[in-house]
Structure 1
Amino acid sequence: MRFDGVLFFPVTAYAADGTVDTVLTAEHIASRLEYGPGGVFAACGTGEFHALSATEVGDVVRAAVDVVGARVPVVSGAGGPLGHAIECAKRAADAGADALLVLPPYLVSGPMAGTVAYVEALLAASPLPAIVYHRGSAALTADAAARLADNPRVIGFKDGVGDVGVAQQIVRAVEASGRDDIALFNGLLTAELTQEAYRAIGIPLYSSAAFAMAPTVAKAFYDAYVAGDDARRLEILDAFYLPLVRLRDEVPGFAVALVKAGVRLGGASVRGLPVGGVRPPLVDPNERQVEDLRRILAIGDELVARGA
């Protein structure tokens, strides 16, 4: 399975009564496809996996599969309590997903053998291959990554820890396995900020939450990154991503809440969509923060227009 392009993590839209709005979720995803995402990761971190029931995960993934067709892979989130994770994995398979993103177990931390067993239990419960999220209570060692790489149905690792030394060890363990079909990508918050360093250690892909709200800006950054146009990449980084990160860091959970607010706002190239707010325990930005975000999005639009 290949991922060529920005890895798109869409938001999950909610109706006025708080239920999942699959029609609007599908519209959100469809409106970003023309910007060339390399994969659609539905009901994952930006899609508030933590707040969705297994039934809702299946509904969101089915909406994504229906609108994406076979253009790019559709990956579903699966994680948390083992029973919930297995149910999500089964529903994702029934919905037509191409793979799973295995998020960390809920609350508890076990030894590496237990983390590996958790992934293997999900693989046993579903026919889908899996990308393992190296993060939180599922942080991996190089030895654990090597053991997982021995399983042909493990097709990727996503780093959300941010320890470049450990990430390098995982890269080397994957290379030593002889597998050339494992996707490695940077999954840190606002990954554009750190991706140049990750590429240097052999992790060429990255997830982009910003793509969900500002696809033209995210694509312009990605194009500069792929082309090695450092002047353009740093221009976008300085003017758009660094202010966005400063705003993001004001409140825990804004990595999701700001993106969802940005989808509601829209911009010069994409219209705003009434996707609703975030579910608890996340909180939505206040009026001042929304206005700050509006200004950042406008700067992004200007950068794209200037480079066209």
Structure 2
Amino acid sequence: MRLHGLLSFPLTPFTEDDKVDLTVFVEHLERQIAAQPTALFVACGTGEFTALSTAEYEDVVTTAVRVADGRLPVVAGCGGGPQAARDFASIAQRSGANGLLLLPPYLVSSTPRGLVNHVRYVAEATSLPITVYQRANAVLDPAAAVALLDLPNVVGIKDGRGDVDAMLRLVTAVRTSGHPRAESFGFLNGLPTAEMSVHAYEAIGVESYSSAVLCFAPDIATAFYRAVRSRDTAVTRTLLAEFYLPFVALRDKVPGYAVALVKAGAKLSGLAVGPVRPPLLDAAPEDVRELAAIIERGRAALAALEG
């Protein structure tokens, strides 16, 4: 399952009394599907995977599979310690997910070889295709990336580190390995606000990327994606200047805003997605007001381009 294109990472809505709001989640998913992403990645980083109980996780994945109804693949996050990751993988499989995004192992740091062993341990417990999320304490080197090719249901690497030089080395090692799966293996740009780095990653052969902006401003996210694919630099430069750069500056003000600010944006769009769970903090009122102004400026720039 090698994915191409724009990838959706839906939020997990919570009620004010701290329950997962599946009714709002369904509405959110339908809005995401209408934007025509390549896949839905549910209960991942933006979906606050680490804040979910196993029962909530099962509800989220099952609901996403039901709503998607075969229109596009549903990939579920899984992670924690090795046994916990296996447990989540099993839940995702019985819930009907089409694939897994394996988040970094809980807390423990190791070596690239140790990380491959961790991936193998989880992969042996499921038949679902697995994409390995490289970030934080999960860092691969070229030899480790090539070793993943020998795990039949490991289908790709999502990068969240932002080291383009290091990522080029992984892509090159895999593509020139001579392994039968070398060309089918996928690479995804999973940086926060990946639109900022899409051109650099495209240059090294990483064309698919995740878009948190799709969660709250799908018109801007899809217009930017179309412009990237058509090489329309007038559109990409304008949207970077008028929307993405100011958004990233605001996002970087507070750790955790990569999720909390996206939830604030979804609320501005009319979705009652509720608060974030600890240890994240909800966006401050003044930052929400600034976000609203940034979205308005981005849409005004888009309208001028389209007019």
Deviation at 1:81, TM superposition (A): 1.6
Deviation at 1:48, TM superposition (A): 0.6
Deviation at 1:52, TM superposition (A): 1.2
SS in 1 for 2:104: coil
Q: Is the 8 A contact 1:261 1:290 kept in 2?
A: yes
1:127-165 CA-partner distances (Å, limit 9, x unpaired): 211001111111111110100022221111111111111
Q: Is the 8 A contact 1:55 1:91 kept in 2?
A: no
- Find the counterpart in structure 2 of residue 41 from structure 1: 41
Which residue of 262, 265, 271 maps to 1:262? 265
Deviation at 1:303, TM superposition (A): 3.0
Matched, 1:170 2:170: yes
- Provide the rounded CA distance (Å) in 1 between the counterparts of 2:29 and 2:106: 28
- Find the counterpart in structure 2 of residue 217 from structure 1: 220
Matched, 1:240 2:243: yes
Q: Tell me, which stretches of 5 or more residues in structure 1 are unaligned?
A: 267-271
- Find the counterpart in structure 2 of residue 269 from structure 1: none
TM-score by length of 2: 0.96
- Find the counterpart in structure 1 of residue 60 from structure 2: 60
- Provide the rounded CA distance (Å) in 1 between the counterparts of 2:261 and 2:88: 26
SS in 1 for 2:76: strand
Q: How does 1:86-125 map to 2 (within 5 A)?
A: 86-125=86-125
Q: Is the 8 A contact 1:44 1:77 kept in 2?
A: yes
Deviation at 1:2, TM superposition (A): 4.2
SS in 1 for 2:105: coil
- Provide the rounded CA distance (Å) in 2 between the counterparts of 1:290 and 1:175: 43
Deviation at 1:56, TM superposition (A): 1.7
Q: Tell me, which stretches of 5 or more residues in structure 2 are unaligned?
A: none
Q: Which amino acid aligns with 1:247?
A: L
- Provide the rounded CA distance (Å) in 1 between the counterparts of 2:19 and 2:81: 22
1:163-194 CA-partner distances (Å, limit 9, x unpaired): 11110011012202342222211111111001
- Find the counterpart in structure 1 of residue 288 from structure 2: 290
Matched pairs, number: 303
- Provide the rounded CA distance (Å) in 2 between the counterparts of 1:149 and 1:168: 17
SS in 2 for 1:79: strand
Matched, 1:149 2:142: no
Q: Is the 8 A contact 1:159 1:185 kept in 2?
A: yes
- Find the counterpart in structure 1 of residue 298 from structure 2: 300
SS in 2 for 1:139: coil
- Provide the rounded CA distance (Å) in 1 between the counterparts of 2:142 and 2:55: 34
- Provide the rounded CA distance (Å) in 2 between the counterparts of 1:46 and 1:251: 15
SS in 1 for 2:37: coil
Structure 1 moving runs of 4+ over 6 Å = none
TM-score by length of 1: 0.95
Deviation at 1:302, TM superposition (A): 1.9
Deviation at 1:3, TM superposition (A): 2.7
Structure 1's 76 and 140: CA in aligned 2 closer, same or farther, altered over 3 A? Answer: same
- Find the counterpart in structure 1 of residue 132 from structure 2: 132
1:80-117 CA-partner distances (Å, limit 9, x unpaired): 12222111111110111111001001111012222111
Q: Is the 8 A contact 1:142 1:169 kept in 2?
A: yes
Q: Which amino acid aligns with 1:79?
A: G
- Provide the rounded CA distance (Å) in 1 between the counterparts of 2:59 and 2:127: 18
- Find the counterpart in structure 1 of residue 198 from structure 2: 195
SS in 2 for 1:133: strand
Q: Which amino acid aligns with 1:201?
A: I
Q: Is the 8 A contact 2:2 2:156 kept in 1?
A: no
Which residue of 277, 280, 285 maps to 1:279? 277
Q: Is the 8 A contact 2:16 2:275 kept in 1?
A: no
What is the identity percentage for the equivalent residue pairs of Structure 1 and Structure 2? 46
SS in 1 for 2:137: helix
